[in-house]
Structure 1
Amino acid sequence: MKATGIVVEYNPFHNGHLHHAAKAKELSGADVVVAVMSGQFLQRGEPAFADKWTRTEMALSAGVDVVIELPYAFATAQASEFARGAIHLLDAAGCASFCFGSEQGEIEPFLNSLELLNTKREQYDTIIHDRVQTGISYPKALNDAYLSLKNSSSRYADLTKPNNILGYHYIEAAHAVNRAMAPLTIQRIGAGYHDPLEPGVAIASATGIRNAFFEGEELGELAPYLPTSSIRLLERVHAEQQGFVDWQRFYPMLRFTILREGPKALARFAEVTEGIENLIHESAKRSETFDVFIARVKSKRFTRTRIQRMLTHIFTGYTQQEAQAVKQPEYIRLLGMTHNGRRYLNERKKAIPLPVISRAADLTGSMGQLDIRASTLYLQAIGADSLKKEYTTPPIYLGDSSDK
């Protein structure tokens, strides 16, 4: 059997994700779609709207065959590390290709961009260093350096777009890990990353869907933008945990942690740099809500995404020392599979170079223990009935009629 890989968060799984999974299989000619999915915390430094098992079931109900978890250390990292971890796992799972959605819609500009930056790496790094010294954010420095090298040529990918940026890093990682794994891209359609919901448009952004719900929309009113299976599963989790998850719900625990640790201790957590620990601590003292808190901390130099990643690491206790020890994924944590996915894994099991983990109890290393810690803290913050859920939830299996 042949597999293609996708990197996802499904926060939540909507019609755009349904289109992506179907097109990935079509373009690659694969029998199986393998998704590497972030767990309870996401790349933009946010707790997931719904837990990882709910999001896994959404995916399996709508065209994905295997869902494996991207470890916390990569899932909450900057784009290059996020991509490196995900591509490493797709390669370990035996994927012949990987497919990502992009604003570009064509693969050739990404390959040209990779060649450009590899050829002019020293010049690129120098420009980044010089731009950061002026006080701008690191992402802005990266973009300035890239624009100066490509000189407005249309041969290269537009790396000002969020999905194009991730796509470039996927290709960069695949070039380092396994050049035989073919990169594919599909045109991102419908709403942009941050766009609000638009009546009559079936493909909305996950951000727009989440914002609409938190602003008072009922789940039934979001039905045009999500598969029926996603609506059903979201209704279930909404009833079980009295709502969905955002930083506002986590803020009391986050604020307690910040105030308890104090500025000096905050500096030991991953990505907390340049003295911002003092501002974080002072803002927590003065802010009753998360929105007020984040408005006080973000700046031209420290983007909201960068700050949220710091806060995620403070919340989970992920230190600079732990981050420096991360090399590459050490296991494949299986979250779920369909009948077709199980056939593929059984066929490939002797060729997979990493241990395939189906029980949290088998996660014995520091990377696995971090995943357990992060998930347990997430469950605590949402008021889950059992903090043992991380240990007691088996991989979700959606079989066909022959399994019944």
Structure 2
Amino acid sequence: MKAVGLIVEYNPFHNGHAFHLHASKEAADADIVIAVISGNFLQRGEPALVSKWARTKMALAGGADLVLELPYIFAAQKAETFANGAVSILAAAGCDALCFGSEDGDINAFLNTLDFLNENQAQYNHKVKDYMKSGVSYPKALSLSFEEFEGTDSLISLAKPNNILGYQYIKAIQDQKSSIKPLTVRRKNADYHDEHFASETIASATSIRKAIFGEDENADKISQYVPQATFDQLKLYFSEYGLFHQWENYWPFLKYRLLNMEANELQKIYEVEEGIENRMLKAAVSSSSFGDFMEKIKTKRYTWTRLQRACVHILTNTHKEEMYLPQEKASYMRLLGMSLAGREYLNKMKSHFSLPLVSKLSSFKEKPIHLDIKAAKVYSCALSGEKQEKLLKMEFNQPPIYMK
């Protein structure tokens, strides 16, 4: 059975994702789709709107056949580390191809860009360091450095978020000497960060979340932009747990952590660098909300995303040594869900997987998984009483979801 891999967050799964999934399967001429999905906290340093279990159900209903979790150690990370972890899981699961959505939609432009930067790596790195010294953020330094080169008209733009991720996926494939074939499909209508609805049926996840977190916090207003299964899952989740997760739910816990820490303690937390700890400690005292706090700590040097990721790691008390990766590859694959075709694929291919497949948490003791467990505990803190207990129990007791 031929498998195409997708690297996703589905926060939530929408019509654009449905297009990408089916277009990827067609482009790869694949029998099944394997999706590697971020768990409780996401690459941009945000809590997922709904649990990984609810998003797994959305993915399976949308056409995915196997859903594997991207561990916390990779999920709440910069694009390069995020890509390395996800690609290593897809390779271990036997994927023949990886297909991603991009603004350019031309795989040759990505491959040419990778070759170009490999040939000019020393000069490129030097330019990046110079821009960083001037005080700009790392992503901005990468983009500005790339723009300085001549003859890049036929290459991709590294100023666009999906192009950046796509480039890192292809680089990870090359660095890991994987046989996975990279493919891309052009994104439809909505840009990655669009905050407003751009068409009648396609919208970015950002605009969908913004609509959900409107004055009355409900999912009704986004029904035309998501498949029915997603809409149903969102309604069900809200009825069961009474909220959709967002940073403001966690602000009291983050503020408590900051008010009880010294600067030298905060320096030990992953992604807290270069004096930002003093700015954070000062801002925590006078901030009444997470949004207020972020406005006070943001600087030209640090992107909003970088700061949010640091806040996630403060919230989960994740120290720098815990996120150390001797090689940027996953050491396990956690199975969250499967379709009938996915189960058939597992029966045929599982013995060939190059990483252990975890379907029952209690039977696996590999060290990095403790970060996933800790993240799940913190994620559940947005809830209280029986609702919190119910969600947390799923982390330990929920078997892989099977959807025929």
Question: Which band: TM-score by shorter chain?
Answer: over 0.9
- Which whole-Å CA distance do the structure 2 matches of 1:222 and 1:210 have between them? 9
Matching residue of 1:347: 348
Q: 2:389 aligns with which of 385, 390, 395?
A: 385
CA contact (8 A) 1:44 1:309 kept: yes
Aligned to 1:168: 167
Q: Is the contact between residue 142 and residue 158 of structure 2 (CA under 8 Å) also seen in structure 1? A: no
Which deviations, in whole Å up to 9, do the C-alpha atoms of 1:157-211 show, x marking residues without a partner?
1111100000000000011224421110000012112213437521100010001
Q: In the alignment, is residue 202 of structure 1 matched against residue 201 of structure 2?
A: yes
Output the amino acid matched with 1:168.
Y
Question: Larger deviation: 76-85 or 153-162?
Answer: 153-162
Tell me, yes or no, if structure 1 residue 357 matches structure 2 residue 358: yes
Closer, same or farther in 2 for the Cα pair 1:106/1:229, shift >3 Å?
same
**Aligned residues between the structures:** 398
Q: How does 1:5-404 map to 2 (within 5 A)?
A: 5-149=5-149, 151=150, 153-198=152-197, 200-216=199-215, 218-325=218-325, 327=327, 328-383=329-384, 384-386=388-390, 387-399=392-404
Deviation of 1:125 after TM superposition, in Å, equals 1.0
Q: Which runs of 5+ in 1 are unaligned?
A: 400-404
User: 2:16·2:188 contact (CA, 8 Å) conserved in 1?
Assistant: yes
C-alpha separation in 2, matches of 1:188 and 1:199: 13
| Deviation string, structure 1 residues 32-72 (Cα, Å, up to 9, x no partner) | 00000000000000010100000000000111110000010
- Residue-by-residue CA offset, 1:287-307 (whole Å, 9 max, x unaligned): 011111000001111111000
Q: Is the 8 A contact 2:11 2:205 kept in 1?
A: yes
Q: Which residue of 2 aligns with 1:402?
A: none
Does the CA-based 8 Å contact 1:287-1:293 persist in structure 2?
A: yes
Calculate the aligned-residue CA RMSD, in Å.
Answer: 1.3
Structure 1 residues 144 and 200: alpha-carbon distance in aligned structure 2, compared to 1, 3 A threshold = closer
Equivalent pair of 1:334/1:357 in contact (CA under 8 Å):
yes
CA distance in 2, matches of 1:178, 1:29: 23
| Cα deviation, residue 218, structure 1 | 3.5
Q: Specify the SS of the correspondent of 2:98.
A: strand
Q: How many angstroms does 1:215 deviate by?
A: 1.3
Distance 2:153 2:109 in 1: 8
- Cα deviation code 1:106-142 (max 9, x no counterpart): 1011001100111111111111111111111111111
- TM-score (norm. length: structure 1): 0.96
Amino acid at match of 2:146: Y
Q: TM-score w.r.t. structure 2 length?
A: 0.96
- Contact between 1:332 and 1:357, CA under 8 Å: does it hold in 2? yes
Tell me the CA shift for residue 346 of structure 1.
Answer: 1.0
State how far apart, in whole Å, the 1-side matches of 2:198 and 2:90 are: 36
Q: Which runs of 5+ in 2 are unaligned?
A: none
Give the Cα separation in 2 of the matches to 1:111 and 1:143: 17
Q: State the AA in 2 paired with 1:393.
A: Q
How far apart, in 1, do the equivalents of 2:53 and 2:207 lie? Answer: 22
**Counterparts of 1:280 and 1:245, CA distance in 2:** 23
Q: Distance in 2 between matches of 1:196 and 1:380?
A: 28
Identity %: 43
Which is worse superposed, 330-339 or 178-187? 178-187
Partners of 2:198 and 2:3 in 1: CA distance: 36
Counterparts of 1:135 and 1:176 in 2: how far apart (Å)? 30
Moved more, 168-177 or 356-365: 356-365
The one-letter code matched in structure 2 to 1:53 is W
How far apart in 1 are the matches of 2:32 and 2:278? 49
What one-letter code is carried by the residue in structure 2 that aligns with 1:358? S
In the alignment, is the contact (CA less than 8 A) between 2:245 and 2:382 conserved in 1?
no
Shift in Å, 1:318: 1.1
